[in-house]
Structure 1
Amino acid sequence: MTFKNFPMVPRVVYGRGSFDQLQEILIPKRTQNDAPFVYLVDDFFEGREAFLKRIPLEENDMLIFVSANEEPKTQQVDTLRDKILADSTVFIAGIIGIGGGTILDLAKAVALMLTNPGSSADYQGWDLIKNPAVYHVGIPTISGTGAEVSRTAVLTGPAKKLGLNSDYTTFDQVILDPELTTTVPKDQWFYTGMDCYIHCIESLNGTYINAFSQSYGEKAYDLCQEVFLKDILSPEEAQNKLMMASWHGGMSIAYSQVGVAHAMSYGLSYLLGTKHGVGNCIVFDHLQEFYPKGVAEFKEMVRRHGVAIPKGLCKDLTDEQFDVMIDVALSLEPLWENACGEDWKKVITRKKLRTLYQKM
C-alpha cells in the first residue's frame, strides 16, 4: 500500500505583529544583486499608507495591487506572470502574497508559472506541475480558506474550475499575524470562516478520514465552535483562534478531501462567479441529507450572527446553464468519493444535482 507523501509549509511565523518580521525573513533570500521580490497585495490596502509603509520594499521590488472581487482565473495568472517577466530583466527572488484566499492562490500560481512553460490552464489537475516554483511567501489577511497551508491554487479556467494541485504549490514561508484580520467586514469574516467550518464537516464525515486528518479537523472544528457559537471571546481572541482554525482546517483536508458543498460551489463559481466562501454557504444550507448535524449547527451560526445567505441565484437559469454547473461539479471525482464512497455515481445523479441547485 502506498501512502501520500505530501508537503507541509516548512517555515511559519505566528503572532500578533509578526508581519513586521518580513524584512528579516526576506534578507537571506536576496541572493542575487538587484533580484526583485514581487508583492501581490489585495487592492483593499491600496492607499492605506500606514500598512503599506510596513512592507519592506527594496529599490527593484514590484508592488502589484490585485482585486479580490472575482475568483482567481488562469488568464489572470498568465497575465500577471507576463507582466512580471516584462518588467524585470533579472532573476525573480520570490513572490509574496498578502491578502485572502484569492490573493494567496494567485501568488502560489504565479510562483509556479514563473518556472513552468505554457498557460496555467495546462496544469489544472493533480500533479501536473513538473518544475519547482520560485520562492513564495503567504501572508493571510483574513482567516478561513486554508489557502495559506494547502497544496493547491484554485483557479477558474476556460473549461473548468480546478486547482493547480502539486507538491510544488505549497508556500515556502507563511506569516500568521491575526492583527491583519482586524479590518475584515463582518459578512466577509463569516463567509470565509464558514469555509473553514465546512472544511471540517466534510473532512470529518468523509470516507477518506484518517487519524492524521481527524486530529487537525477536530481541533479546527472545536475552534470554529468557540468563535461562532460562544460569546466569551474578546475580538483579539476570536481573531487568534480563527486564524489557527483556518490553518488546522487546511491541514485536515490536505490528507483527506472536501465534499459535496465544495464540489457544488465550484459549479456556482464557474458559471456565476460566486465567491468561494459565499458559494459554500449557499450550497451547505441545503445539504441536510449529507451533513445533518453540521447543517443544523451552521444554521444556528447564521442566526446568531445575523448574516443573510443569498437565495434565488439559480431561479432563472436555463437548462444549458444547469448542465454547465453540473458538469463542473461532477468533474471533481475525489470530492464525491470522499463524500459518498466508491459507488458515489449511484447516489449522485445529474437529476439529483439539478434538484439541489434549483433550491439555491
Structure 2
Amino acid sequence: MSFKNFPMVSRVIYGRGSFNQLDEIISPKRQGRDAPFIYFIDDVFKGNHWLTSRVSLSYKDKIIYVPTEEEPKTSQIDQIVEDIILEFSEHPSGIIGIGGGIVLDIAKAVSIMLTNEGESKDYQGWDLVKNPAIYHVGIPTISGTGAEVSRTTILTGPERKLGINSDYTPFDQVILDPELTKDVPKDQWFFTGMDCFVHSIESLNGTFLNAFSQSYGEKAFEICKEVFLEDYLSEEEAQDKLMMASWHGGMSIAYSQVGVAHAMSYGLGYLLGIKHGVGNCIVFDHLEAFYPEGVKLFKQMKEKHNIVLPSDVCKDLDQHQLDIMIDVALGLEPLWENAIGKNWKSKITRQTLQDLYLKM
C-alpha cells in the first residue's frame, strides 16, 4: 500500500498583532527591485487604514483589491496572471493573500499559474500541477474555510466548480492573527464558521477516516461546539478559538475528504453563484439522512444565533438546470466515496440529489 505524502504549510506564526511582523517575515524573500510583492486584499478593507497602513510597499510592490461578491473563476485567475506578466519584467517575489477563503484561494491559484503554462481550468482536479508555485503567504481575516491550510484552491470553471488540488497549492507561510477577524459581520461569521463545522462532521463520518484526520477533526468539532453553543467565552477568546478550529478543520481533510454537503454545495455555487459557506449551510440543513447528529447540532447553532437561511433557492429551476447541478455534484467522486463508500454509485442516484435540491 502506498501512503500519500502530503505537504504542510512550512511556516506559521500565531498571535494577536502578529500581522505587524509581515514585512519582517517576507523581506528575505525579495528577489530584487523589479520583482514585486503583490498583495491581494479583500476589498472590504479598502480605505480601512487600521489594516492597510500596516502593509508596507517598496519598489514595484502592488496592492490589488479583490471584490468578493462572487467565488473565484478560472477566467478571473487567467486574467490576473496575464496582467501581472504584462506589467512586470520579472516574476513577483511573492503573492500575499489577505482576506477570507475567496482571497486566499485567488492568491494560491495565481501563485501556481505564474509558473505553470496554459489556463487554470486545465489544472482543476487532483495532482495536475507540474511546477512549484512562487512564494505565497496566506493571512486569513475570517475563520472557518480552512483555505489557509488546505492543498486546494476552489475555482468555478467553464465546466465545473473544482479545486486545484496539488502539493504546490499550500501556502509557504501563514500568519494567524485573530485580531484581524474583529469586524466580521454576524451572518458571515456564522456561515464561514459552519464551513469548518461541516469539514469536521464530514471528515469524522467519512469512510476515509484515520487517526491523523480524526485527531484534527475532533478538535475542530469540539471548538466549534464551544464557540457556537456556549456563552462563557469572551469575544476575543471566541476569535482566537475559531481561528484554530479553522486550521484544525482544514487539516482534518488533508488525509480524508469532505462529503455530501460540499459536493452538493458545489452544484449550488456553480449554477446559482451561492457562496460556499452559505451553500454548505443550505445543503447541510437537509442532510439528516447522512449526518443525523451533526445536523441536529447545526440546527441548534442556527437557532441560538438567529440565523435565517435562504430558502426555495431551487424551486424555479427547470430540469436542465437541475441536471447541471447534479452533474457538478456527482463529478466530485472522492467526496462521495468518502461519504458513502466505494459502492456509492449504487446508493446515490440522480433522483436522490434532485429530491434534495428541490427541498432547498
- TM-score bin (small chain): over 0.9
Does residue 147 (structure 1) correspond to residue 162 (structure 2)? The answer is: no
Contact 2:263 2:329 in 1 (8 A): yes
1:226-271 CA distance string (max 9 Å, x none): 1001000000000000000000000000110000000000000000
Matches of 1:127 and 1:20 in 2, distance apart? 35
Return the offset for 1:342: 0.5
Aligned residue in 2 for 1:269? 269
Give 3-state SS (helix, strand or coil) of 2:294's partner: helix
Greater Cα shift, 75-84 or 280-289: 75-84
1:71-99 CA distance string (max 9 Å, x none): 11100101111111111112310100000
Matches of 1:86 and 1:347 in 2, distance apart? 50
Return the offset for 1:59: 2.5
Matches of 1:26 and 1:343 in 2, distance apart? 48
Counterparts in 2 of 1:15-164, with a 5 A limit? 15-164=15-164
Give 3-state SS (helix, strand or coil) of 2:85's partner: helix
Does residue 208 (structure 1) correspond to residue 208 (structure 2)? The answer is: yes
Matches of 2:343 and 2:291 in 1, distance apart? 18
Contact 2:34 2:89 in 1 (8 A): no
1:121-165 CA distance string (max 9 Å, x none): 010000000000000000000000000000000100000000000
Aligned residue in 1 for 2:175? 175
Matches of 1:146 and 1:33 in 2, distance apart? 33
Aligned residue in 2 for 1:254? 254
Return the offset for 1:57: 1.1
Greater Cα shift, 264-273 or 54-63: 54-63
Contact 2:33 2:59 in 1 (8 A): no
Return the offset for 1:47: 1.1
Aligned residue in 1 for 2:302? 302
Contact 2:126 2:164 in 1 (8 A): yes
- How many pairs align? 360
Aligned residue in 1 for 2:346? 346
Percent identical residues:
68
Matches of 1:231 and 1:131 in 2, distance apart? 48
Matches of 1:51 and 1:9 in 2, distance apart? 24
Does residue 3 (structure 1) correspond to residue 3 (structure 2)? The answer is: yes
1:155-180 CA distance string (max 9 Å, x none): 00000000000000010000000000
Return the offset for 1:120: 0.2
Matches of 2:201 and 2:91 in 1, distance apart? 43
Counterparts in 2 of 1:275-354, with a 5 A limit? 275-354=275-354
Contact 2:34 2:88 in 1 (8 A): no
Give 3-state SS (helix, strand or coil) of 1:254's partner: coil
Q: Counterpart amino acid of 1:101? A: G
TM superposition score normalised by structure 2: 0.99
Extract structure 1 runs of 4+ deviating beyond 6 A.
none
Give 3-state SS (helix, strand or coil) of 2:65's partner: strand
Matches of 1:241 and 1:78 in 2, distance apart? 36
Q: Counterpart amino acid of 1:96? A: I
Matches of 1:85 and 1:198 in 2, distance apart? 38
Q: Counterpart amino acid of 1:243? A: M
Aligned residue in 1 for 2:229? 229
5+ residue gaps, structure 1, are none
1:49-87 CA distance string (max 9 Å, x none): 232110021131011001111011100101111111111
